Structure 1
């Protein structure tokens, strides 16, 4: 849709405006033809929303979504705009996409990567907390885990869609080769992401598969500790060991984590990873990036919107933080009132320790420092539902949304008529791809000191080798142990240096 010759020129102008951040040009084009928001390029099938999300132009992202852009549209690789924003670390764009109810559990066609994988491989810990916001209920952390462990006396009534089993399945979703987000965070040395993922029920004993298209120099059957030993970050190894990882796990090559550390020259990890190690293990509290009130304020923002404007009337209470918007939410406990925009920003960015302020995962109130667990909507707040433009990408039920046998099938749903969707419940949408992309064996990387050779796709057997320059990403966190040690040429062997004509085509359009 939108690729006819009549609007292709205007569509390319909108793509250029979305890539360059030209808000005025984008507004002018969408005012003339709002259907241009659904335009997609002829090569990589990237929509203007993909370009704006990848470049971090949040205002253009909101403008496109308000004009009918599909928040879950895919490009030629099966990547959504959320995946692009997670890859490049634009947390404000991720927040906007969540307000328009994007599907966070979708996986791409190439390697089964979700938005969580893209955020973990680049160390974007703020984005990880946003991506899992719909899975973590606004309730005390101890009460949630007491219910998960069988403590029925707590009396916490959590709906099935917020069940901790859904969170565990999402966090432990395996991509190509069985690689989870925890594997990627441990491999690249992002200890804050590793700690947050473990607190979100990531399995420290998950094993990689013996098949897949990604280059794996560690071997199948490897745990996140094997990957942390390859990456060489001391704190990642300590966190994994403190949370139950085993030093004695052998992968399919017969290697312990200690053997992996020796092979990759991480000799300073040998005293820690030795089977008979007597190293003193530090204690790690829960991650400061846990955000319990995020779900509640996110649902309020979806219902009320963020564009509530204040008037000059003396009867309206202005937000004490921004002094611009009308107060629309109140913190449970201290009852201090804020506007929904400030509350959402507070829950998305705060990483202050909350030991003395409230239970783990609570956010300190900016006015009294009281620990906030959840927000409630004020009675006078008006509801303003965001537009939701859903595609007809319905498929068979999957692990997160089992089919209800009493519910009518999709074919008999009265809301679907020809090409129009009147109203489709969110429970009918499958959040993950039910048919994985076929895996094909790729030769192992045999490089020693030089750059990893690039492998062309399986359709072409003989191609000229060309080095694939990995993209440099900036991380706002200060790393542990001072300056980061130099990575080996294969430290980003999973997807960082992988050559695929599909992904190159999609990324070259965005980065042009």
Structure 2
């Protein structure tokens, strides 16, 4: 009725930019057919998915994909969240659509979008069959790009053991750097995927690689409170006092998150309780800020300097006072914290 009354079939706006993209996203074959008959631009650009073909591919709507391609949809038109229809279909794990697009000439190694490539997109979702298909078709297992670095980092983060094995068997670089996680070992350690961590270490992953938002694999595991992973990393020679990243050390990371058992393990293995650095200054200040009483007690038992200055809050007493942690304030005062100490803030 709207079209009969003169509605513009190619009007643009909103999250999905045009009616054809919205109908394609829903897999509505009848609506797509009507819009195409009325002159909808099959390659119109814009919106979350970039174009109708990407929207249909992400949803795995095989018939709609075929309809759009028959009407001249271009495989190489870039744009939107996924940048390419093959990447969109791979992210959704839609094997038939992936096969169709590749059969029509889609570049299996096309770069772009938030995931970087079709292989990375499939890896993020843990779609083993699609990963196998893409690798078999010549996808570069070491391609870098997007927000997440490499396919190996993505499956390590997700704990997809079989895909990790597959990628390693096809030559994935264990120590490739890039993306939010910086390397595969750090990604697996942060999420506590013990089997994947073990696989990576046994194949020669650098246990002391230092980089990225989490500093090192040990800091990442400590931040997550993953005791078994922390143990594995230490047994493999992880530097317990390595300084890097926002937490500066593994002990500070575990203290900030209140992981009592990990804090105890690190202290037993020789972590320096008085190490200074990072946003929080030291482990005691990090634990005090969050009111982790048991961690504060453990650090104080180690003879940590209760009046050490540094970091964003000056001292542990100031950090605890800022958040109103009465019990921690009392503990610190009992151990000689100076209530009158002044320190410039960052």
Query: TM-score, with normalisation over the residues of structure 1?
Result: 0.40
Correspondent of 2:121 among 84, 91, 103: 84
Kindly provide the CA deviation profile for residues 37-72 of structure 1, in whole angstroms up to 9, marking residues without a partner as x.
624354446222111111111111111111111111
Check conservation: 1:248, 1:275, Cα contact below 8 A.
Answer: no
Structure 2 residues without counterparts, runs of 5 or longer: 1-39, 271-278, 281-285, 291-346
Aligned residues: 232
Alignment-derived partner of residue 65 in structure 1:
102
1:8 and 2:47 aligned:
no
Alignment-derived partner of residue 19 in structure 1:
58
Structure 2 residue matching 1:193: 3-state secondary structure: helix
Alignment-derived partner of residue 133 in structure 1:
169
Structure 1 residue 90: Cα displacement:
1.0
Correspondent of 2:88 among 19, 37, 51: 51
Matches of 2:153 and 2:63 in 1, distance apart? Answer: 34
Correspondent of 2:258 among 262, 265, 272: 265
Once the two structures are superposed, the pairs formed by residues 233-244 of structure 1 within 5 Å of their partners are 233-244=226-237
Kindly provide the CA deviation profile for residues 112-151 of structure 1, in whole angstroms up to 9, marking residues without a partner as x.
x11122222222222222222222xxxxxxxxxxxxxxxx
Matches of 2:68 and 2:245 in 1, distance apart? Answer: 56
* Greater RCO structure (CA 8 Å; 6+ sep): 1
1:195 and 2:211 aligned:
no
Distance 1:177 1:82, change over 3 A: closer
Correspondent of 1:232 among 225, 242, 246: 225
Matches of 2:67 and 2:113 in 1, distance apart? Answer: 28
Distance 1:68 1:249, change over 3 A: same
Matches of 2:222 and 2:58 in 1, distance apart? Answer: 39
1:116 and 2:152 aligned:
yes
Structure 1 residue 29: Cα displacement:
4.4
Distance 1:187 1:44, change over 3 A: closer
Structure 1 residue matching 2:219: 3-state secondary structure: helix
Query: TM-score, with normalisation over the residues of structure 2?
Result: 0.58
Structure 1 residues without counterparts, runs of 5 or longer: 136-166, 210-215, 278-443, 450-512
Structure 1 residue matching 2:210: 3-state secondary structure: coil
Check conservation: 1:37, 1:64, Cα contact below 8 A.
Answer: no
Higher share of residues assigned helix: 2
RMSD, matched Cα: 3.3
Distance 1:255 1:70, change over 3 A: closer
Matches of 1:52 and 1:235 in 2, distance apart? Answer: 36
